[in-house]
């Protein structure tokens, strides 16, 4: 658990516990379904008996088909939810050119590792200035390289966290929906089951959008890694990589909002999303600069203290 695979371990633990919940809650869900079916059929039978001109056979067939449909969904809900998830994720990965497999998409740690691999040439380019004179002579280039490295790593880490949260969210929604679906058997509470199905579809669209962003982003930055920066890195090339990573960072943060826009019927990305991306990146850089200032201040204090101690020792040793 000392590398990016730690997030895969977390996902596996959470996923196994959530998946086991379907078996643990199966008895309660079955009892609730049977109770609500009995109540609904009893009430419907009473109204059919009181109605003089009611077509009882037609209503009985409709009621039987309705109950049978939801009974099939509840009995195979975990399998059907998995099919829905894999379908949305597969469509998103296919739309991005099949550059990422479904198994790799299900491992957010591999996405984070891709970011580290893509940013490694930037760190190597900054590390080639080993002498003190080279550092001061190329200070601007080194700072740009380090900032670009931070943006690239941050972009892929946020994508990995977004994928992790989305996968857990889908599993939690399906587990909660498994408990709420039996309420579809009673007319007065059927709205609860309808919202569950709608939420599953909207979460599936979110998975599709993230799969497209992840697939395209990993493809682009694998090309950057293959191209390399050369022996003498160009500051314009480094800034281009930083801009590409910043764009990917914006999509990673605000991309899942596209799914909400599709469901609600309104656009979700705009100038506000761009400003939010800039603020997020700026916050990370300000945090790094503050840490650097603290380190420089501490070093200066230590040097000053050492100078005072040396002066005191010299005065004490003077005749």
pLDDT tens-place string over residues 274-316: 444 444 545 544 444 444 444 444 434 444 544 443 344 334 4
Instruction: Evaluate whether residue 286 is within a structural domain.
Output: no
> Could you tell me if residue 112 is inside a domain?
yes
On whether residue 294 sits in a domain, the answer given is no
Least confident range from 95-104, 175-184, 264-273: namely 264-273
Q: 249: domain range?
A: 11-269
- Burial class, 116, CB count within 10 angstroms (exposed 0-12 / middle 13-18 / buried 19+): middle
Domain count, the chain: 1
> Taking 90 as the threshold, does the pLDDT of residue 40 lie above it?
no
Q: In Å, what is the CA distance from 43 to each residue of 21, 35, 185, 267?
A: 32, 12, 12, 45
pLDDT of residue 87: 93
Q: Which of 40-49, 80-89, 127-136 has the lowest mean pLDDT?
A: 127-136
- Statement: residue 2 has pLDDT above 80: no
Query: How many H-runs (helices) and E-runs (strands) does the chain carry?
Result: 12, 0
- At 207-261, the pLDDT tens digits run 888 888 888 888 877 776 666 665 566 778 788 888 888 888 888 778 777 776 7
Q: Which is more confidently placed, 151 or 307?
A: 151
Q: Which residues contact 129 (CB under 8 A, 6 or more apart)?
A: 135, 137, 138, 142
Q: Supply 233's token pair.
A: 């890195």
288 assigned to some structural domain: no
pLDDT at res. 101: 85
- pTM over 0.85, yes/no: no
Nearest-angstrom CA–CA distance, 109 and 73: 33
| Residue 306 forms part of a structural domain | no
- Give every CB contact of residue 152 below 8 A, 6+ residues apart in sequence: 115, 118, 119, 122, 221, 241, 242, 245
Overall average pLDDT of the 161-173 stretch: 90
Asked whether residue 296 is assigned to any structural domain, the reply reads no
pLDDT more than 90, % of the chain: 14
Q: How far is CA 226 from CA 60, 119, 125, 159, 220, in A?
A: 66, 11, 15, 21, 10
Contact 99, 218 (CB under 8 A): yes
233 within 8 A of 135, measured Cβ to Cβ: no
Per the listing, tokens 């309660």 go with 28
Q: Residue 157 is encoded by which pair of tokens?
A: 């880490």
Is 1 part of a structural domain of the chain? no
Encoded tokens for 154: 């941050």
Chain mean pLDDT for the chain? 77
Could you give the CA distance from residue 228 to residue 162 in angstroms, rounded to a whole number?
A: 28
Residue 293 lies inside a defined structural domain of this protein? no
31 band by pLDDT with thresholds 50, 70 and 90:
very high
């Amino acid at each position: 658990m000392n590398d990016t695979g730690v997030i895969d371990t977390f996902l596996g633990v959470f996923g196994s516990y959530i998946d086991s919940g379907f078996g643990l809650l199966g008895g309660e869900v079955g009892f609730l379904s049977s109770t609500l079916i009995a109540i609904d059929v009893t009430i419907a039978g009473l109204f059919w008996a009181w109605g003089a001109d009611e077509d009882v056979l037609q209503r009985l067939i409709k009621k039987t088909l309705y109950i049978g449909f939801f009974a099939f969904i509840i009995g195979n809900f975990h399998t059907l939810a998995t099919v829905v998830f894999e379908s949305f994720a597969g469509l998103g990965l296919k739309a991005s050119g099949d550059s990422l497999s479904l198994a790799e998409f299900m491992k957010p740690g591999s996405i984070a590792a891709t970011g580290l691999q893509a940013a490694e040439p930037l760190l190597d380019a900054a590390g080639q200035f080993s002498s003190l004179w080279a550092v001061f002579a190329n200070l601007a280039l080194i700072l740009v390289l380090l900032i670009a490295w931070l943006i690239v790593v941050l972009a892929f880490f946020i994508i990995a966290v977004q994928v992790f949260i989305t996968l857990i969210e889908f599993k939690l929604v399906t587990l909660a929906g498994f408990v709420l679906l039996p309420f579809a058997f009673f007319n007065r509470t059927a709205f609860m089951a309808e919202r569950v199905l709608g939420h599953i579809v909207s979460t599936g669209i979110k998975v599709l959008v993230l799969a497209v962003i992840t697939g395209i982003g990993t493809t682009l930055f694998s090309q950057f890694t293959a191209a390399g920066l050369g022996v003498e890195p160009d500051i314009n090339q480094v800034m281009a990589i930083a801009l590409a990573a910043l764009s990917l960072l914006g999509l990673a943060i605000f991309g899942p909002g596209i799914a909400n826009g599709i469901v609600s019927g309104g656009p979700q990305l705009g100038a506000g999303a761009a400003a939010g991306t800039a603020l997020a990146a700026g916050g990370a850089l300000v945090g790094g600069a503050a840490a650097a200032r603290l380190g420089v201040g501490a070093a200066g204090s230590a040097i000053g203290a050492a100078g005072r101690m040396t002066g005191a020792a010299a005065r004490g040793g003077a005749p």
